[in-house]
Structure formats: C-alpha cells, structure tokens
Amino acid sequence: MAEGTQGQGGSAVAKVQPNLALCLSRRREPRYRILATALAEHPDAPLLDLCLMAGVDPDEVDKMWIDYNRRQGYVKVASHLPDIMEDVAEDARTRVSMCRNCDGLGRMEDQPEFPLCPICDGSGKVRKIGDHRSRELVFEAMKITSKEPIVNINNSFSLEGLVGEATRIIRSSSKVVDVDAQ
Ligand SMILES: [Zn+2]
C-alpha cells in the first residue's frame, strides 16, 4: 500500500495529507473532491474511513498518489535539464591545451639545435577532441543527426516524453569519460 493510505491517522499521513488533498482536488469526479475536502477538514481521521465516506477505493488513492509523485519527480528532473544539457555540450567541445611533449615551448629543448616539436609543430598547443559520445548526444538533441524528433512540440508535447529523453541523456552522460583524465 502506498504512503498515501499508510498509517491511518499517524504522523506519516498527516505529513502527506496537504499534498494528497491537492492531488485529489485536481480530479474531476466529485467523490475525489469530497475526499480532498474531508482530508483537509479532518486531518486526524483514518484515511480508510474518509475513503469509505467519499465512496473512493483506497487502491485508487494509492495509484493517484503514486502518479502525482511521479509527475512531481518529472518536474524536478526537468528543471535540471538545461544545466545537464549544457554540461554535455561542454564535454563535447574540443579543447586546446598545452603540448606535453614540449611543455608548451614548441621546441625540443633537450635536443641539439632545439628542433620544432613534432607533436604540436612548434605551436606549443594541441587540440583535444571533445568526448565522442557527448557530441553524438548534442547532435541528437539538436536534431542534427536524429532520425526521429525527440519532442514533437506541435503534435504531441508531453512532460513524460521530455523527461524520459532527459533521463536517457543523463544515463548516457554518466558514462562519459573525461578526456583530460585519460
Ligand atoms: Zn609540442
């Protein structure tokens, strides 16, 4: 049984009741709103009794409570999406760093006549290509290489779809290896 109907008047129920009442009050059917009102007016009453009074199956309340919290989780995850996408884009960028072969001098000072460094060709700098997987993710997210649009805003925008894609990107990006650490 979900948290929403556990504890029958105990502290756990009292703690979740405001949000449970809010969750129920969003439903169209009057019996859910009746239960929401009863929850608000009788915070110490056993939830099962209130369900019986309102004609609501406690299992329905459990499912609605789970669904409500799942959606709340989606909203919270979605709020992190811009920063995560920016992180992935940053990982995808090519970086210019000091050439370790010549310590950034451009010449091999430990050799006679100080020849040009064969690695950086005298520039003292080398390019490090951005993380390959991060690049794929960025191109895919920007619909440059994706065959299927990630989110069809015109036809079927859904928070679940957006967050599902975000979750997939988060999981993928967690496997990215820092090129500097190699
Ligand atoms: Zn060099």
Residues 102, 86 share a domain? no
Give the model confidence (pLDDT) of 53-73 as tens digits.
999 999 999 999 899 999 999
Give residue 96 CA to ligand 1 midpoint distance, Å: 12
Residues 104, 85 share a domain? no
**Among candidate residues 122, 82, 72, the one with its CA nearest the CA of residue 102:** 122
Residues, Cβ < 5 Å to ion ligand 1: 99, 101-102, 117, 119-120
**Among candidate residues 92, 95, 22, 20, the one with its CA nearest the CA of residue 58:** 20
pLDDT bin (cut points 50, 70, 90) of residue 44 is confident
Residues 162, 102 share a domain? no
Q: What is the tally of structural domains in the chain? A: 3
Give residue 126 CA to ligand 1 midpoint distance, Å: 7
Collect all residues with Cβ–Cβ distance below 8 Å to 38 and sequence separation of at least 6. 45, 50, 53, 54
Residue 121 lies in a domain: yes
Residues 105, 116 share a domain? yes
The reported pLDDT for the residue numbered 132 is 96
Give residue 144 CA to ligand 1 midpoint distance, Å: 35
Collect all residues with Cβ–Cβ distance below 8 Å to 36 and sequence separation of at least 6. 20, 21, 22, 24, 25
pTM above 0.85, yes or no: no
Residues 85, 148 share a domain? yes
Give residue 130 CA to ligand 1 midpoint distance, Å: 20
Residues 170, 136 share a domain? yes
Give residue 136 CA to ligand 1 midpoint distance, Å: 29
**Continuous segment of H or E residues that includes residue 35:** helix 30-41
Range of the domain at 44: 3-56
Residues 154, 80 share a domain? yes
Per the listing, tokens 């091999």 go with 108
| pLDDT reading at 10 higher than 60 | no
Give the model confidence (pLDDT) of 94-103 as tens digits.
999 999 999 9
Residues 40, 80 share a domain? no
| pLDDT reading at 7 higher than 50 | no
Residue 63 lies in a domain: no
Residues 167, 110 share a domain? no
Asked which of 10-19, 44-53, 70-79 is least confident by mean pLDDT, the reply is 10-19
